[in-house]
Amino acid sequence: MNYKVIRVGPEEIEFEKGIKLSSNHNQDCCESHYLCFEHLTIEDFDGLEFNLEEDNFFNRLEWYGIELIPVKGHSVRIPGYGSNNGYYSTDLSLVLSGLGNTRLFDISECQDISE
């Protein structure tokens, strides 16, 4: 089944039927790792549908972020950012929830990290 984006927020994208896409990092003291949704708009997703039931709905873009791949049409890129003092983890996960379970995808290499 294909899903349309119905809302874009600063920390997540919401698709039809309550499906949400976000990022997660178990943050410690002096670090931050995240996908940046804040510059996206609902217009970026106009006319696009995504097959979220398959794992190929996105591509990992090393040192940049991710690219959402629609069934037809243009892809949408989402940058990832990270910062820490070199001591903490750079782990970052893409989180897809609302399809009956929560799926996590390792996207640790998909962020521009400053130290």
Tell me the pLDDT tens digit for each residue of 38-92. Answer: 999 999 999 999 999 999 999 999 999 999 999 999 999 999 998 876 666 778 9
Spatial distance between the Cα atoms of 10 and 20, rounded to a whole number of angstroms: 13
Strand, coil or helix: what is 62? coil
At 34-45, the pLDDT tens digits run 899 999 999 999
- Total-model pTM: 0.89
Strand, coil or helix: what is 103? strand
The label of the residue with tokens 């896409």 reads 21
DSSP code of residue 46: T
**Who contacts 1 (Cβ-Cβ below 8 Å, separation ≥6)?**
51, 53
